[in-house]
Structure 1
Amino acid sequence: MEDSFGAVRNLEAVMRIPVTIQVVLGSAIMPVANLMKLRRGSAIPLDHRVGEPVDVVVNGRTVARGEVVVVEDDTSRFGISLTEIVGGNASNA
């Protein structure tokens, strides 16, 4: 049986594992011909509307939803305010 020090050490190792976090603002489907016409300044309409929650995805799995906010310390940056934590059921796989 592992002592509590060993368990803490294992937990610390797990906490250092890097994960990729993405915030999905929306998506779009378009033909390759339209994709090839995109230039600087082109706008791509997404399937999400302003004010709708965005998905927070960790290693390819949606784990939360939230609202886009301006970071208080640096108004030139955006952040996410979490509004919902998504459960770990099979429908989110």
Structure 2
Amino acid sequence: MAENGLELDEFAPGDPLADMSMDMEDKTASDLAPVFDVPVSISAVLGRATMSVAQLLQLSSGSVLELDRKVGEAIDIYVNNRLVARGEVVIVDERLGVTMTEIIKDGDSAA
């Protein structure tokens, strides 16, 4: 019995519940084939700025917004609004791109 008073069941090999947990570990990328065509939204955020409505209304063509990032600092990469990586801005055939430099693990998304 564990310190907290709970007892954990152990499953013998061949038990359906034990087999199910082993099956989950043996999954490969090909098992994900049914979701390969599901669209996801990817965003690369250069930085953020906060301003009052009065300041916003004063903006015009040519106005410069100062962002919270420094030149050369990693930018955030989001998949479906979830931070998943950081990267650097690059130019690819005269278009902007992002080179991923860091993959964010769960719970490691502090800015």
TM-score, normalised on structure 2?
0.68
1:26-45 equivalences under 5 Å are 26-45=47-66
1:82 alignment partner, one of 92, 100, 103: 100
Give the superposition deviation at 1:60.
1.0
Which residue is 1:24 aligned to? Answer: 45
Which of the two has higher C-alpha Rg?
2
- How big is the alpha-carbon RMSD for the aligned residues of Structure 1 and Structure 2? 2.2
- Which one has more relative contact order, counting CA pairs under 8 Å at least 6 apart? 1
Which residue is 2:24 aligned to? Answer: none
TM-score, normalised on structure 1?
0.80
Which residue is 1:5 aligned to? Answer: none
Q: Deviations over 1:27-76 (max 9, x none)?
A: 001000010111111110000010000000011110000000011xx12x
Q: Flag structure 1 segments of 5+ consecutive residues without an equivalent.
A: 1-7
CA–CA separation in structure 1 for the residues paired with 2:105 and 2:61: 39
CA–CA separation in structure 1 for the residues paired with 2:80 and 2:87: 17
Q: Percent identity?
A: 49
Instruction: Give the 3-state SS of the residue equivalent to 1:84 in structure 2.
Output: strand
